[in-house]
Amino acid sequence: MRRTFVACLFIASACSFSQLKAQATLFEGARLITGDGSAPIENSAFLVENTQFARVGRRGQIQLPAGGVRVDLTGKTVMPAKVDLHGHFGYQHDWDGTMAKEYFTRENLVDHLERLAYYGVSATIGVGDLVDRSDLHGGRTGWGNVPLRVRDEINPGAALFRTVGPGIASPDSGAQGHPSRADVPYPVTTVAEARAAVQDNAKMKPEFIKIWVDDRGGTRKKLTPELYLAIIDEAHKLNLPVGAHNVTLADAKLLMKAGVEGWLHLPVRGGEAPDEELLAIIRDRIARKDRPNMWFHPNVGTAFTTREDWNDPLLRETVPPQQIQQLWGEQLARITPESVSRGRENLKQLGATNVLKLRDAGMKIILGSDTGQSRFFIGWMGQLEFESWVYLGLTPMQAIVAATRDSAEAAHINTGMIASSKLADFIVLDANPLENIANSRRINKVYLRGAEVDRAAMRAKWQKRWPTSSQR
């Protein structure tokens, strides 16, 4: 059931040349981080032809084709664009923080994909998207097909979009936060409804079937094992992967034994941690090649950040100051050097007792920002999630590989590495992220599918909509 990327590449190659600066461009002189974990290439050269990387090497090794353009990146660092596998896009107006189903239009969804591109994200997967589905009682919601339309488009200057559709949960136990999203997932209470929901969701050709297994601190009824095992069984019959939002260790073991491939957040949270039995299940699945490509994203929050982080130009260029103050002011006022130190020490402990154990057992860490709901600013939260991994215990290089190559592979999108035949999606940085992961914010340029993203025009468009007092 999985859609291949061949059609997308054909469309990208056939799209208007107005989005291409030249059919062949040779970029030279940068420190190049290719995304495969190998040592950076100093004084590099890489050739982009139309939408793809053609050759990668050192300066002087690659000839510029006739009629091509040469770009000097001396003093810069280049890394692949990132891929985000968990976003809640379309519901939010980023200029004022409000949310509504009525906002879920093609125009707003593309705006969110442009915001991701501004931050150096080349592709994303929408979760809990507003799309017409069965109500499981003979009717339909009539929510339209915006996510499916945008999935089939390639918008210059915007991240590629994929969707899982609305997802499946017990009534009102899916995506929380603003009520605009509360009733979006299929609400299942019986095995028959669970299987019918999968069958209807499958018609949308989703990237995976998303399930929520969470009682929200005892305030909701979560999917029971009977229901989620039926969902997983039906999905696998249709050759669809399953991605789970889960909390408890007991559920994690059952979900893992049933063959869940993806985990949105940590597989085990809420004060529990992976034990040897769960880790043995992971290792056994890999040894038996039973859906062995398992992934998760930590999604660990913002406790490691300083007040200076929240004054970073990258954030302030994309979000009005009043909105930052309104949604984060109280938390930022409580930040002290001591609280930041505690937050970073807590991340180190979480890494040792949870994240790195799962990774060492064979699961891949991937990028999932869970962004797009009021205070979780699109682009910025994914940036902070990426940086947090270094405090969990990853090296900067390991974090880059996870957010680029490994995330692209989990999303089945031909990006995430600077290598021949990959989509030419890359970030030009003014500083080296291998020395300090926060240098990945120092974005000079972003290129998607071989074309430079017009970040200045985006800033102007967004800031024009800000309240008058926010204008610069």
User: Of 393, 411, 429, which one is at a domain's C-terminal end?
Assistant: 411
pLDDT at position 4 is 44
Q: Are residues 347 and 300 in the same domain?
A: yes
Structure tokens at 38: 């190998």
Q: Are residues 400 and 425 located together in one domain of the fold?
A: no
- Does residue 14 sit within a domain? yes
Distance CA(82)–CA(116), nearest Å, equals 9
40 plus 177 within the same structural domain: no
Are 282 and 389 found together in one domain?
yes
Q: What is the mean pLDDT of the chain?
A: 94
Mean pLDDT value of segment 164-175: 93
Q: What is the mean pLDDT of residues 180-194?
A: 96
The CATH number of the domain holding residue 177 is 3.20.20.140
Q: Answer yes or no: do 176 and 325 share one domain.
A: yes
pLDDT band at 469 (very low <50, low <70, confident <90, very high): low
Q: Is residue 469 part of a domain?
A: no
Q: What is the pLDDT of residue 7?
A: 43
More confident call, 418 vs 218: 418
Q: Is residue 192 part of a domain?
A: yes
Q: Could you tell me if residue 109 is inside a domain?
A: no
Of 390, 411, 432, which residue is a domain's last? 411
My answer on whether 336 and 423 are in the same domain is no
- Mean pLDDT in residue range 134-145: 98
- For residue 458, the model assigns a pLDDT of 98
Give how many domains the chain has, as a whole number: 2
Q: Quick check: is 104 in a domain?
A: no
Let me know if residue 460 belongs to a domain.
yes
Answer whether residue 188 shows pLDDT above 50. Answer: yes
Q: 230-265, pLDDT tens digit by residue?
A: 999 999 999 999 999 999 999 999 999 999 999 999
- pLDDT reported for residue 209: 98
389 and 450 co-located in one domain:
no
Same domain assignment for residues 351 and 249: yes
Note whether 403 and 431 are same-domain residues: no
**What is the predicted pLDDT for the residue at 21?**
44
Q: Residue 362: how many CB atoms within 10 A of its CB?
A: 16
Reported confidence tier of residue 3, pLDDT bands at 50, 70, 90 = very low
The reported pTM is: 0.94
9-46 residue pLDDT tens: 444 444 433 344 458 999 999 999 999 999 999 999 99
Asked if residue 371 belongs to a domain, the reply is yes
User: How many angstroms separate the most distant Cα atoms in the chain?
Assistant: 66
Kindly report each contact of residues 266-273 with a partner whose C-beta sits within 8 Å and lies 24 or more positions away, as own/partner.
266/296, 266/298, 266/299, 266/354, 266/355, 266/358, 267/296, 267/358, 268/354, 272/247, 272/248, 273/249, 273/353, 273/354, 273/357
As a whole number of angstroms, the distance between CA 82 and CA 159 comes to 10
Cβ-proximal residues to 127 (8 Å cutoff; 6+ apart), any chain? 86, 87, 88, 164, 167, 175, 210, 243, 264
Domain match, 404 and 434 both: no
51-93 tens-digit pLDDT? 999 999 999 999 999 999 999 999 999 999 999 999 999 999 9
Confidence of residue 5 (pLDDT cuts 50, 70, 90): very low
Looking at residue 467, what is its pLDDT?
84
User: Of 392, 411, 430, at which residue does a domain stop?
Assistant: 411
Domain containing residue 352 = 132-143+165-411
- Say yes or no: 247 and 390 in one domain: yes
CATH code, 17: 2.30.40.10
Q: Is residue 155 part of a domain?
A: no
The CA-atom distances, in angstroms, between 349 and each of 319, 352, 355, 395 are 32, 5, 9, 16
- Asked whether the predicted pLDDT for residue 274 surpasses 70, the reply is yes
Helix (H, G, I), strand (E, B) or coil at 286: helix
pLDDT at 94: 84
Is the model more confident about 69 or about 178?
Answer: 69
* Sign of the CA dihedral with 169 first, then 379, 125, and 133 last: positive
Whether 229 and 355 share a structural domain? yes
**Residues 6 or more apart whose Cβ sits within 8 Å of residue 12:** 50, 51, 154, 423, 449
Reported as a pLDDT band with limits 50, 70 and 90, residue 294 is very high
Q: How many CA atoms lie within 13 A of 468 on its CB side?
A: 0
How far, in Å, CA of 113 to CA of 449, rounded?
A: 14
Dump strand ranges (E) for 92-185: 121-126, 160-163, 168-169
- Region 343-360: what's the mean pLDDT? 97
Residue 22 has a pLDDT of 53
